[in-house]
A and B are shown apart, each in its own frame.
Chain A
């Protein structure tokens, strides 16, 4: 539909006067330049004038800004006058409190045809402000009946509309030879964050139409940078398409606001966000950009900081224009949603102000999280996994046919906190990662091989040592860029494992944590007893018995299982032991050892490939050279029997008993000798628990294995075919000194029959350490518990 929104009914596009705000921007557009503008306002006329002059003189195409103080915004002009009389600095320029001749003096010789100045305020009742700026000879400002009412005031929308009608008319009357008043919508900002782009576009466009309906012929439409560059670009394209359709014969342009929500606190993060805004402005064909400074999160910026931001944005804009990257072509429906909202409002009443009032009353427009009494408050928004703002609930807005998965989703208080700080976190993290890269490269030159060597030649015999670098506090550890990068990679590894196993028909089950008995085979580690309603129960050291039981439900299962083992104190500095850790625990009914080795090998390769392909930046940041995985990804893992491994160890002078488990020091030596993952198979009976199946053809030998990582990272995984026959299990229990009476529930199941099976437990922290090249396994755990070390 079309609607006559121009009271004068003009259809010929106006060419705004060369010296006017719109005329200046139009000229800059023709010469291909982006106009940049600060958010600058000082209470002292002298400083305000200096700020304007510095803006004009910056190496960029600039327009000047007079931002008003918060007293003036709410009509507290006498408070502003009192502050001026008392010599108290305000947070902006009090244009009403200052005499108009003072303001004329501020502008004289600074404001010119090649340097227009705009007043920025934030008032829902701005008549005094408009009168003052007009009296001072100014004719460019911004705001809107919705955008300065809903977020910041309790003024009823109806009143705000009336106020803005008066103000538009007051400003439009200024039009004359060489003068074309200009009004910018603030509607592209709505609460600064978490308002989905389609609603921002709709409100910004509707406010522009409202301005035009009340006499303005030169307007700009704002859009505030949100959470995802591609989505923002799509939104600005939608805004331009709607403006082109609904503002015929009008001089209009688009202004981008650098992010208006919780701002990055690091200088690098703040710069990064400003640069992203400048790129958005260029890529979306916008004409003007309002910048923010590195001081944004902390205080009111200085003039010099404003100039730096202007020049930085201008430089990025030039570079982006020269890149000649094709504009994005995403269409996720922003235009359709925004257009549906605009059409719905226009259909309510030919008078756009009345239409807007009715639209909020009926919930056609409903700003998420806005508490204004005239906002229905039935909508919710959230941030997608790819950083896009989306609707969690659309309330009564007429876009149900357009919003995918219109089923409302709950947004919890912690979701909200995370969403509010999403942009800050993204940009601060990126900045911290960048600045830590060098520092980290130094710390990582200390390879695990060296660690192992040191540990072996100087064994810690004094008990619980704490390795260098172990975090002093959870805060230090959790907020460290290394930890965060490692945990992100670990998350991807788990995702990869789950997808890989699920695709092969595995069912993920959740493991028990408490039982009357737990796997007795954890070498040298003690179990934790707990009081379970008067019974002495255990925390799981591993869940092998339960995995066997789980095969009664499904043939192929896996857990991501927490395990607790009180490892000997001397393991605290091995870099490979944690008292609390996790395993990807897999068990397959009817499988042989060969079967399970193939499943494990495929799983490890799948996880590593996923990280190498999808997280190269993170690996580079951690200093992990991905060429370390070339062999792993391209050829089958090596296999060696325990007997052969013992011979190898003897050859390099390590006194390894052929009857026993390979100790962790020997594992490291083996690990350092290979460039490729290595399976060690056929451990001697007596080295492992009763559940590892004894070979029927070579008695005394178990059908089991360990997986050893190369480069000194050591053992990643243990696994085996399982004993599953009642008689054999009971006799193996007796051989290993276990009391069968303790295993009542398990033996009952076994007696009635459980499937034969094979399985493994792949240490998640150990695998993460290997993939990320960390010094120690504790770095791959959010709450590391080193043996014997007091930990949260």
Chain B
């Protein structure tokens, strides 16, 4: 997302997904909203992963999911978000509910560890095959 210039998290996720047999287009850091939307429309991917670690993930995620879900091509595409979504504390749990309600298929808080994301990605592969 546009406000986040961290990239090691994105590199790591790319490797995790590749190890599960996925082909990954990594849009990198500081992605403007429109760049993400345009890239996701044609052709829609099997999964859109948004990772944010700068503490603005909740705000940016709420804005992005509305934009993405408003595209008819992306109405049912799995879209997930994860990382450090708030600046810590109990609010982060409340964020998950709101992000799910807004249209994300899964929310992975940074405290949950990578395994929950791995098993989610695995379950998608299962559906596909």
Answer yes or no: B76 CB below 8 A from chain A CBs.
Answer: no
Interface string of A417-454 (1 = CB under 8 A from B): 10010000000000000000000000000000000000
B:7-28 near A, CB below 8 Å: 7-8, 10-12, 15-16, 19, 26-28
Query: B28 — which chain A residues lie within 8 A by C-beta?
Result: 154, 371-373
Contacts of A416 in B (CB 8 A): 8, 11-12, 15
Q: Is B19 touching A412 in the complex (CB atoms < 8 A)?
A: yes
A191 contacts across to B, CB distance below 8 A: 7
Q: What is the CA–CA distance of A413 and B115 in the complex, to the nearest angstrom?
A: 12
Q: Which of A174-202 contact B (CB under 8 A)?
A: 191
Using Cβ atoms and an 8 Å threshold, which residues of chain B touch A413?
12, 15-16, 19, 114
The answer to whether A151 and B19 touch across the interface, beta carbons within 8 angstroms, is no
Q: Are B31 and A369 in contact (CB under 8 A)?
A: no
Q: Does A782 touch B at the CB level, under 8 Å? A: no
Chain B interface residue count, Cβ-Cβ cutoff 8 angstroms:
17
A residues 372-393 in Cβ contact with B at 8 Å? 372-373
Q: Verify if A152 is at the interface (C-beta below 8 Å from B).
A: yes
Q: CB distance B29 to A371 under 8 Å? A: yes
Q: Is the interface of A mostly helix, strand, loop or mixed?
A: loop
Interface positions, chain B 63-100, Cβ under 8 Å from A, are: none
Count chain A residues whose beta carbon lies closer than 8 angstroms to a beta carbon of B.
Answer: 16
CB-CB contacts of A689-708 with B at 8 A, as 1s and 0s?
00000000000000000000
Which residues from B are CB-within-8-Å of A369?
A: 7-8, 11
With an 8 A cutoff between CB atoms, is B5 at the interface? yes
B112: Cβ under 8 A from any A Cβ: no
Does B30 lie at the interface of the complex (its beta carbon under 8 Å from any beta carbon of A)?
Answer: yes
A125 to chain B, nearest CB (A): 13
**Within 8 Å of chain B (Cβ to Cβ): is A370?**
yes
Question: Residue A114 at the B interface, CB < 8 A?
Answer: no
A152-B19 contact in complex given A369-B11, A413-B12, C-beta closer than 8 Å: no
Q: Which of A152, A154, A420 meets B31, CB within 8 Å?
A: A154
In whole angstroms, what is the CA distance A371 to B32 when docked? 15
Q: With A371-B26, A371-B28 known to touch, is A412 a contact of B7 (CB < 8 Å)?
A: no
Nearest residue (CB) in A for B20 is A413
Give the docked Cα–Cα distance between A15 and B122 (Å): 64
Contact B7 A371 (CB under 8 A): yes
| Contact B15–A412 (Cβ < 8 Å) | yes
- What sequence of 0s and 1s flags, for each residue 24-58 of chain B, a beta carbon within 8 Å of any chain A beta carbon? 00111111100000000000000000000000000
Q: Does A411 contact B (CB under 8 A)?
A: yes
A154 to B39 CA separation, bound complex (whole angstroms): 15
Bound-state CA distance A66–B44 (Å) is: 46
Q: Which residues of A contact B26 (CB under 8 A)?
A: 371
Tell me the nearest residue of chain B to A192, going by C-beta: B8
List the B side residues contacting A371 at CB < 8 Å. Answer: 7, 10-11, 26-29
Q: Does A153 contact B (CB under 8 A)?
A: yes
Q: Is the CB of B30 within 8 A of A154?
A: yes
**How far, in whole Å, are A191 and B7 apart by their CA atoms in the complex?**
9
Question: Closest residue to B32 on the A side, CB-wise?
Answer: A154
B30 near A151 (CB under 8 angstroms)? no
Q: A152-B5, A369-B7, A371-B7 are in contact. Are A417 and B19 (CB under 8 A)?
A: no
A184-233 interface with B by 8 A CB criterion: 191
Q: Are B7 and A370 in contact (CB under 8 A)?
A: yes
Question: Closest B-chain residue to A411, C-beta based?
Answer: B15
Residues of A within 8 A of B10 (CB): 371
Q: Could you say which of B10, B19, B26, B29 has the most chain A C-beta atoms within 10 Å of its C-beta?
A: B29
* Residue from A153, A369, A372 with most neighbouring chain B CB atoms (10 Å): A369
Interface string of A150-171 (1 = CB under 8 A from B): 0111100000000000000000
Taken together as a complex, chains A and B put the C-alpha atoms of A148 and B30 apart, in Å, by 14
By a CB distance below 8 angstroms, the chain B residues around A372 are 28
CA distance A553 to B7 in the complex (A): 51
Residues of chain B with a CB closer than 8 A to A154's CB? 28-32
CB distance from A83 to the nearest CB of B (A): 15
Nearest chain B CB to A12 CB, angstrom units: 43
Closest to B31 in A: A154
Which residues of the other chain, A, contact B114 by a CB distance below 8 angstroms? 413
B-chain residues with CB within 8 Å of residue A417 when the two chains form the complex: 12
| B7 neighbours in A (Cβ, 8 Å) | 151, 191, 369-371
- Given the complex of chains A and B, what is the CA–CA distance between A152 and B15 in angstroms? 20
When chains A and B are docked, how far (Å) is the Cα of A369 from the Cα of B27? 12
Report, nearest first, the 9 A-B pairs whose CB atoms are least far apart. A371-B28, A413-B15, A413-B16, A369-B11, A371-B7, A152-B5, A154-B30, A371-B26, A413-B12
**13 A-B pairs with C-beta separation under 8 A:** A151-B7, A152-B5, A153-B30, A369-B11, A370-B7, A371-B10, A371-B26, A371-B29, A372-B28, A412-B19, A413-B16, A416-B8, A416-B12
Interface residues of A (CB under 8 A from B): 151-154, 191, 369-373, 411-413, 416-417, 420
B-side residues, CB < 8 A to A, are 5, 7-8, 10-12, 15-16, 19, 26-32, 114
14 additional contacts (CB under 8 A) given A412-B15, A413-B12, A420-B8: A152-B5, A153-B5, A154-B28, A154-B30, A154-B31, A154-B32, A191-B7, A369-B8, A370-B7, A372-B28, A413-B16, A413-B19, A416-B11, A416-B12
